[in-house]
Structure 1
Amino acid sequence: MSGRKAQAARNDELILQAARAVFTSDPGAPIAAVAEKAGVGISALYRRYPSKEALLQKLCGDGLKLYIEVTERALAEEGDAWEAFAGCLRGLVDADTSSLTIKLAGTFHPTEELDRDAARAGVLAEEIHRRTAEAGALRPDVTVTDISLLLEQIASIRLGDEKRTAQLRHRFLALAMDALRVPAGHRELPGPPPEDAELAARWSPAG
């Protein structure tokens, strides 16, 4: 990679890291705040991402691809279905893809590529859920959408620095997994599970 291309790649990584930090903190922040945090000129940012919407699309696209990667890796594992499922959940917590959903859903128009990746992610989530349930390791009244919202709740934990936040997220994930696993003396869950349509509706921009 030439010096100019290497610098462009470094700038792009700085921009994406800054954008994630800025927009998961304040989705309404201007794109100039991203340039400032990244330490690049606004013109350099606009050369790579012509609008805030394009930048948000890129962030969520990368998040979906990471979700797909983590879940495919878990599905490729042989052996104990629960351990593969638990490893998948831990990987998704580390990837922090749910933070993007919490903050950015409905703030931009999804592209066709995002729709395709979202559909693929959904298929994979259904598959690992089905495999774990069929192994008798997952309580039968828990749905895929229950798991989605559980990951969002864990992603909402922010306390101290990044290391402390990660510790706490995995602590509460461990508590949640004890409640998900069979056998256990579970009480019936109150209320119906969330519907796919309820989750999907959040990605339609308001107005």
Structure 2
Amino acid sequence: MTSAPMSGRKAQAARNDELILQAARAVFTADPGAPIAAVAEKAGVGISALYRRYPSKEALLQKLCGDGLQLYIEVTERSLAQEGDPWEAFAAYMRGIVDADTNSLTIKLAGTFTPTEELGRAAVQASSLATEAHRRAVEAGVLRPDVTTADIAMLFEQLASIKLGDEERTAQLRHRYLALVMDSLRVPPAHRDLPGPAPVDEELSTRWYPS
């Protein structure tokens, strides 16, 4: 059974909502203290349209983090459903979380709003799934047993802090350093070619100049 197509007004509202969320993520991960008007401006929608959907900055931040948690849950569930090589299943989990970039929200937005009960439940579920991914890898003998789930969480945050060049270059570098991290986590240790070239001095120096 297929759902009926949305009316023109509903379709426009859905498009506006997607624009608002994309803009909010960009604005608030760059500056958590930015006003909600900056989101409306970046999204290209009127402030009244934004407030009809999200009555406050707090509500918008809650939505962003709720979506991030749900994405984390989906990525982890997919890796847990993967059969075959236990290391590849764990590696898929690590790569998937880095690609999802949910930790950029954690780095910038943690402590800037009041979590709802729903967010609390989602966080518990995400934590439980992460613990299961870790447990399976350790019990299969492919992950260092002295590495904890908290260690993995901190590694995700370190990788999310890498931002150099455009989105494509940033993703390439994150996977380069993820590969280094993964080789240090694996039992027995692995050595393989790293994805993407290392950053050059010119790339590093551009961070000191306004864009």
TM-score in terms of structure 1 length: 0.88
Pair 1:95-2:79 in alignment? no
Distance (Å, rounded) in 2 between the aligned partners of 1:43 and 1:71: 37
Cα offset for 1:183? 1.2
Give the one of 129, 146, 162 matched to 2:151: 146
Distance (Å, rounded) in 2 between the aligned partners of 1:118 and 1:80: 28
Question: RMSD over aligned Cα, in angstroms?
Answer: 0.8
Give the one of 8, 13, 16 matched to 2:13: 8
The code of the aligned residue for 1:85 comes to F
Q: Equivalences for 1:1-207 in 2 at 5 Å?
A: 1-184=6-189
Which 4+ stretches in 1 moved above 3 angstroms? none
Q: For residues 39-85 of structure 1, what are the alpha-carbon distances to aligned partners after superposition, in whole Å with 9 as ceiling and x for unaligned?
A: 00000000000000000000000000000000000000111111011
The code of the aligned residue for 1:43 comes to S
Aligned length: 185
Residue matched to 1:191: none
Gap runs ≥5 in structure 1: 186-207
Distance (Å, rounded) in 1 between the aligned partners of 2:171 and 2:188: 28
Distance (Å, rounded) in 2 between the aligned partners of 1:18 and 1:148: 26
Q: For residues 5-33 of structure 1, what are the alpha-carbon distances to aligned partners after superposition, in whole Å with 9 as ceiling and x for unaligned?
A: 00000000000000000000000000000
TM-score in terms of structure 2 length: 0.87
Q: Which has the larger radius of gyration?
A: 2
Cα offset for 1:184? 3.1
- Over the matched positions of the two proteins, sequence identity in percent amounts to 81
Cα offset for 1:113? 0.4
Distance (Å, rounded) in 2 between the aligned partners of 1:91 and 1:141: 23
The code of the aligned residue for 2:108 comes to K
Gap runs ≥5 in structure 2: 1-5, 191-211
